[in-house]
Structure 1
């Protein structure tokens, strides 16, 4: 969720640049990782996966994180940026979709993660969307930015053509129009996304993820094409992943009313050509549920971590 017109405070720019310049100590890195209980197993993608007997199986799966990182919120922002990098390092996803990036935030992440990830951005000023592709697993073929003709906010669609283990994927992320009064524009944007998904070649698997700001009634009015599925629904609507913007738990924003909404969504259009492997949703969980040492959550949104198997 975003107001769309907030500006970056000068102090925040200064703080972030200082953090980028001085780096962080091992103690700071440790304080911003998730608070896993002693003896709890590391999740797939953590630094200890190489010792896991199921390493081969896990490496055959595509892992993806989609997250609105709320870069426009200046509260404890450098610490939250560290927390985000720690989550990404911990889970080591193949693909990352990010929304509400800001320039100093993006520079901060590149300083720490550019050795392992290719960065693609949907803008350079204000706030924007971005993708991160793990260099050792994802080959970038091409990318483009698709403008929404009638948006009133800084919104567009970022599209990347990639290869994953020889399989053609079309990856898409966006931050659809925010706020309930902008439902008509948001639905126009969703129709454009669905059009792009359905028009992809039949030997290509298409994955869209992002902060869609959607209400279920809006999706029903637009209607999903028969070839497109909502990944959360495909996995049986797991209750623990239902709400990605939950002000009953997340205290980053001072919001008087309490609500639970599934703003962040993943959509899949499988390849239909004979002989092309089918990418199937395998698991989904929310991340960012733990407060950082600074007392804030990494974002006002939870992140979505999803894995897919090629069948």
Structure 2
């Protein structure tokens, strides 16, 4: 059932359809795999990108070895890696539909895992976008640092240009109680899954009951909504970026390694850009 926030948000829209675009986010699970398996999984992820053809792609756990393969296989995209460390995020922009304006990287100085906030300013479907991607601190024991990182992101969202819609997301490793500990969603920031009516088949991006990509030394059955997308409108732009469809991808088992492309399901979200009255 959709939240009250999503209903009030939808009721506030009085506008005219202008254009459309789509965005994918996916933790690529680029760590701790045999080279042949890693190559098969990375190529399978590329095929998903080609099939859905999103205008913007957020990737997490990209490694130096997968970065080159992603770049050479997805030549229709401009690939912007956050760094060249052991693993990192990357934002991909489709050459034919997205104009890259600028970008920045902010390191979370309290992170013990080298986590960062990657920001790219771009223009797509006539809308100015501030695209923010991150892989927040992992594991339950890092909840305190993860909440601090989320608060920092909310501050950066608030600082973004009022002419630009902000879309923040990635593998955020979040539990709902941690969003509450961060003070809840700031005014004007919306959970895109909720805006799309909270589709139950697109809730859990981490589902060890279905995804056996990784083996654990203990039985793990908890399903989690680790991967999320958030939206804040550009209030001065005269445009609204409205999510239309939210779905999970990457659920096809691969023929050689006999597992899935990643231990996370990916997310694809379709948006329409509307003129506000």
Superposed pair shares fold, TM > 0.5: yes
Please state if 1:291 is matched with 2:250: no
Indicate which of 146, 150, 154 corresponds to 2:106. 146
Equivalent residue of 1:60, what SS? strand
Equivalent residue of 2:91, what SS? strand
Which ranges of structure 1 fall in alignment gaps of 5 or more residues? 1-57
- TM-score normalised over the length of structure 2: 0.88
Please state if 1:67 is matched with 2:26: yes
Is contact 1:101–1:130 with CA below 8 Å preserved after alignment? Answer: yes
4+ aligned runs moved over 6 Å, structure 1: none
Alpha-carbon RMSD: 1.3
* Number of residue-to-residue matches in the alignment: 252
Within 1, Cα distance between the matches of 2:255 and 2:165?
Answer: 40
Q: Counterparts of 1:150-229 in structure 2 under 5 Å?
A: 150-222=110-182, 223-229=184-190
The structural deviation recorded for 1:59 is: 10
The structural deviation recorded for 1:60 is: 2.8
Equivalent residue of 2:214, what SS? coil
More relative contact order, 1 or 2 (CA 8 Å, 6+ apart): 2
Is contact 2:41–2:262 with CA below 8 Å preserved after alignment? Answer: yes
Q: Deviations over 1:197-234 (max 9, x none)?
A: 11112111000110000000000111110110000011
Is contact 1:198–1:227 with CA below 8 Å preserved after alignment? Answer: no
Which ranges of structure 2 fall in alignment gaps of 5 or more residues? 1-16
Within 1, Cα distance between the matches of 2:43 and 2:121?
Answer: 29
Counterpart residue number, 2:230: 267
Within 2, Cα distance between the matches of 1:165 and 1:296?
Answer: 36
Q: Quick check: which one's strand share is greater?
A: 2
Within 1, Cα distance between the matches of 2:18 and 2:73?
Answer: 23
Counterpart residue number, 1:250: 211
